[in-house]
Each structure stands twice: as structure tokens, then as C-alpha cells.
Structure 1
Amino acid sequence: MNILLLGSGGREHALAWKLAQSPSMGQFYAIPGNPGIAEHAELIEGIPLSAHDTIVKWCQDHGIDFVVVGPEAPLVAGLVDRLEAVGIPAFGPTAAAARLEGSKLFTKELCKANSIPTAAFGRFTSAAEGAAYVRQQGAPIVVKADGLMAGKGVVVALSEEEAVDAVEQVFAGGGTEVLIEEFMEGEEASLFALVDGETVVLFGSAQDHKRAFDGDLGPNTGGMGAYSPAPVLTPELERRALDEILIPTARAMVAAGAPYRGVLYAGLMLTADGPKLVEYNCRFGDPECQVLMPRFKGDLVQVLHATATGQLAQVTPEWSQDAAMTVVYASRGYPGPHQVGSPIGGIEAAAELDGVLVFQAGTRRKGVALVSNGGRVLNVTATGATLGEARDRAYAGIARIDWPDGFYRSDIGWRALGKGAR
């Protein structure tokens, strides 16, 4: 089977690494890819992910049998629709189904209509209305911009003033509607499922760290590290999330005429009343994908293709009992202004360690040298019999990397390990 992978980050490197292990892999290509992905697939240069017509034509010209879409933007923009219209199966939802991530307001209304547990909310089309609601509800409170915000469109406001400022920023930035939610108490976790219409199959759990600095302090980021499985997501809580959130969502999408096919990533808040939905993503998380792939024991091509072609009911994913952890090595200054182009060494030495993988995210080649090319640059990932062993291996891998312009958190997994997780 000839396969095209779309994307260029650490998530896509992890997918490429796992896809390349499939015995059914034929020719393997990536657009645009990165130097890490180039170890597994042939990179196709000069085609931006937004050039849907060009991508579809390229797939037709090169006999592509299956397309795996990594990032969310092409999904929300309807690339899967375009590919399926010419008979090329693709892993990922249609544009109508991808509204679960593309529009927070769509998802909240779907939850409300189908009694899916989530935070109470209000939606407003002016800053004045939103500010008045904040004053009425008080703080803490959560302000969300609608649309795709790369994981950064959410403000958890601890004061009314902070919330009002966040509301005003949404409209000042060109937004036309704002979502304001109650603050939910609890611990967050991520639960993944493969969905094919009304068939829903759980596909692992994880927890990530969004704040830039140790102790979960500093600005929000796209994610500074993650681990899998999530110890707080007990089998009972996973079952409740499946029965009360994921399956009702899949059925509601079928009823709405937009059946979901792909991976559905549920961000959950584990409250005193049980799991509640924080938000959905319509793709694998980043960096959560980097800890799911090393634990997945099956044929990823087979499983993703079955999902895309309506055969998910015939699939039973298999998982290693090992834990996995990834630590993000980011450019100094991230998520604010940062330099790119600094040389990176030691990746090969890190990957020589038992259980260690280094997934590349924001990198490029400058001649033969590997240099930084983004905010989140490397994902140093390790597996181990316990979470503690995975952590020790991941940080041992980081110690072998020579990149003075980078920084990382030294406490990934601290909450779980502090609660006695092994």
C-alpha cells in the first residue's frame, strides 16, 4: 500500500516511525515532513498543506492508496472530503465532522442537546455581553475563542478582570463570538478513541503538561511533555467516559448527517461527579501521540485504514504494559519570541540508550547539520516497565543531547509520580 503522511511535527514523526513498521507498507511519502520523518519516508518538497488541489493531484499521479492526515487545519478545511471524492481513502474526519475541534461552540451545543457532561457555558457576540456575564458569574471562569487556536485559545481566568480582558482580546483579535464556561474542579486527562460512525474503540490515554516551566508555572504552551497511560484514568472512569461522552458524541454526529471517522481525542476533567468533556480534538495530540505510538503493539497502517474504510469493528488494538514519557526540548523563549537555526547534536547518542527514541518536531537541515526550526524542537521519549523508569530513561537521553539554545522541564510526570504511580 502506497501511503502519504501529511504534517511536519513531532506527532507526525511518531506516526511515521510506527507506520513504517507495517508489513503492508509500500512506497511511503510525507508532505512536508522533517529530517526525522525523512528517515522513514521520502519527503515531497514545495507543496504546502493548504494546497489541497495540488495534494489531490499529486496523490492521483503517484498511485497513493491511503493518506494519513496529522494536523487539524487540513481536516477542518476539508482535505479528507477532497481525497474521498476521487476515491482515495484518508484517515481523518470530513470537514463537517471536524467541527468537533474546529468550532468549540458547535461542540458545546452538541453536548447540551445530547446531555453529554461538560461545563455550563454561555456564548456571546459582543465584548460587552461577555463582560456582563463574567461579572454575573464571578471567577475563576474560563474564556475560549472559537476556531482553531493551536492549543492556545483558552484562558483560565482567576479574576473577573483577567476574564474581561480575555473576552476583549478575542474581539480585538477579529473574533466574532466568545465562549465562556464554568471553571471545573478536578484533574485533566486525555482519552483517545478510534471512531467509525457509531463504532468507538478506545485507543489509549495520556496526560500532558501545558505550562512552560517546572511546577506547572509560566505561560501556556502546546505541551511540554506527556506520559501514557494516565494513572488517574482508571478502567471505571474510562468506561464512564466511553459510555457517557464518546459513544453519545459518535451517535449524535451520525444523527446530524456528519458521521465521524478518525481519531477522537477527548480532553477530560475528572470531577467529583465523574468525567466531563473539556474539549475535543480531531487528531492525535502533540506530544501525546509521541507516548501512544511506542506503547501500541499492532499494525498502525491496518488499524488506521480499517477506521477510514468502515472496518473498525474488526480491529482490537493491542498495547504494551510499559509506560511511556516524552519530554519536549524547546527553543529558549518559547512560547514567546525565540531564535531558530541553532545547531543540535547528540540525537544519535541519546537514541542509543535502551528504550529511548528522539522524535523531531521543529528541525531542518542546514547542509549536513541539524538545526532548530521552531518552538518545540525535539521530543525525547522513553518507555519503561514503570513510569519512573521511563522518566529516568528520557532524562538520561536529554543529558546526551548537545543543544545550548534549548530548554526543557525537569519535572514531567510529577503529579502522577507524586501520587505513587510506578
Structure 2
Amino acid sequence: MLVRVRRFILGRRKCTLRGPTRIRARPFVTFSRSAEEYPESYSLKTQRIPAALRTALEKLFRQYPRQSLQRDGVAFNRYLANRRTLTVNGLSGEWENVGQSGGPLTYRKYEGVLYAATWLPSSYAAIRRVLHEINAREGNFQPKSLLDFGSGIGTSVWAAHDLFGDTIKEYVCIDDSEEMNGLASYLLNGGEDKTDQLVPDHYISGMRFRRLLSSTFENSYDIVIALYTLGDLADLRQKRAVIRELWKQTGKFLVLLERGNLEGSRNILLARETILKKIRSQDSSNVGFVYAPCTHDLVCPHTTLVTKLPCHFGQRAELSLVETDSDYYKSYGYKLEKFSYVVFKKGDERPENSNYSLHRVIGPEKRRSGHVVCKLCTQQGHLVQTVVPKSKGRTLYKHSRQLKWGDHLLQPRGVELKFLDLYPRSSHEEGS
């Protein structure tokens, strides 16, 4: 007798049906792990701005001709992408100003509108991704206060509120442009002009706006953020002064995030070097370590590369108003926002794990039959490529197949992986 075998998916289980009555359910192969040992991926699905913000933006954009926003937005986007303020002296290795930087970048209302029409969704996705990593690693982290330096139209505030909800009771937004503060308040009011109110009824409560970052304030904030801000400062000394002051006002986490080009990566490297000098000063008020993306406090390997390349990561974002008119982006339906970032944690020293070596995945992984190819920044401070085969154990192999760009690879002690340098290093580094 011929018995038909039919396979189908029932919910999340594979089932085999033999004949009319016999059903055998077989669960999917799962990768058992504890959340502490093998954290979930830090990458998120395509990020979309909150509905309340979208409604306010639609009201804002209706005040301007669509064609003008499209034309001016493309030019504004090109200007920001090509802006240069930092370079490295080839002889001394010291940071220097770029003479043609054009000075500090100032925003009026129309520039703020263009920023919303070009960069808001992608910058929202980037900061949302970084805050998600902090929340995922800290577990029950409930910040009470947030300082946003260079707040612009309030992108970081929307991202933090979407993730942490009403646990944050105080938001302090600092931007030297009064018109940008007014635009941020307009969006928080749902697209309603409430300038006649002494205390506007914002969608997010606890909002305060300032124009200057003052060193006289003794307050500290659970989260301090500077999103796409260091690149707007043209002077090297001003950048360093701002970085030190932000670290001074940090209570727990300092989040610095820039665009994922070489200019943005250099600004992040400058911030990393500046704060690590403060930490190494042995001052009790400066105890801390590099929380992300680095798994070490050593010299960044990107500073020793013969070929200068940015350290950046990627996060999918919905298309902005300007990008929706681009045939290139419409063919994908999303934008891969590349960003450079560094997160410092204050008040604690770097925890040591005797069971694992911790490495950061610095590029898209390649899954092959029986092995996974990963690009890593290792705990020893090297940029390498490694292959994780099945022969290294089922647990590690399954863990490596689930990795995404920006995640942590946990290498168990006693399990050896072969590391191959990704890029040539300078003779000084090779001899050290």
C-alpha cells in the first residue's frame, strides 16, 4: 500500500503526517544558552520613527513645497556627508584642524527642516540601536535622567523615550540654536505651535531646553548623548573641551555617535583618546571604561592601519522624505545607516570574565556549509578574520551562525581560533 508522506509547518514546529491519523511533532533545533553567556543580537529590524513624531513631521512638511525640500535636501545631505574638520598629521600622528572646514555649523529653522527631511529617520535608527545594546546588556537598567548635547530636533529624546518609556523623568536638551530648540518643541507638541504657553504640554514630559553647556552645573545624568554633534564643531580645542565636560556630567553612560564615514570615525577616535586619558589619570571621579563597541581599553587598531578606514556599524532605517523620491533607495525599501560610536560606562572598572574572551563583530558575517567567517576586533585590540567551524563544538558554532554585524563573539577559554590580520599594520605596531 502506498503511504503518502506530507510535511508542513504548524506554528513553530515541524510536523510529519503519515497516513490519515498518525501525526508526529518534532521541534526545531534550538540553541540552548543563558542570556548572560550568549546575549541576543544587538541588531534591530528596520527602525521606524514613532507614530506621534511622524504625524508632527507631516504637519511640518506641508508648510513647504515638496519640490523645494527635495532639491535643498539633496544639497544639504551632500554638504553634511562631505564636511571635514579633522585630519591626522602624517609625521607626528597628532590630530589637526582642517583649514577648509567652513567653521562651526549653525542651524536655522529651515536647516532644521531639511535635517528632518533627510537625516532624522537614519539618525533615529542609529541612536535607537546603540541604546538598545545598553538596555540589552544591562538587563533591568532604568535611567532617570538624560542630557542631550546638540539635541537639534530632539531625535535622541524620541529614541530614548521609545525604549525606556516613562522611567526617564528629566530630559535636558542643549542646542545653541534657539530656532532648533523651537522646532524640537514644535515636534514634541505634535505639530502645534504653543509658544504662547510658559510651560508647553509636550508629548514627552520632563523636557527642558538650554542653549549652552555650562561647566557650573554640578548635576550628573544617567545617560549623556551627543548625536552627530562633534562633527559640527570646527575647532579641535572646542571638541576636546566639550568631550571632557560631557564626561564630567555623566552619571552612568556617555554615548557619542557620529556618521560612519572617515570624518565621523576620526571624531569618535578623538573622543575615545580624550576620555581614556581622563580615566588613566587615577582620579576617583573618572573611574570608567570603554563599554562599546570596544572590548578593550587599548589603543584603537584603526590608528595603526596603513590604509585609513573608518570603524563603523550598520542599522536599517526607514526612508526619509528625500530618500522616498530616490529610485535607488525605493528599490530596497530601507536605508542602511552606517555610524561610528563609542559608549563609556562611568563608576565601574571593566569586568573580567574567566570563561570567555570577548570580541566584536566588525562586518557582515559569511555563513557557509559547516563554518562561519567572521571579521572581529579582538579583546587584544587587533582587527582579524577568523573561521568558526563545526569542529570547534556545537555550542560555539551555533552561536557564531546567529551573529550579526555589531554583535559580540564569545570565545570560550580553551577553544583556539586562528586569527588572520585583516589589514596591514604600521611597522611600529608590528614591532611592538
Q: Same fold (TM over 0.5)?
A: no
TM-score (normalised: structure 2): 0.26
TM-score (normalised: structure 1): 0.27
Between Structure 1 and Structure 2, whose CA radius of gyration is higher? 2
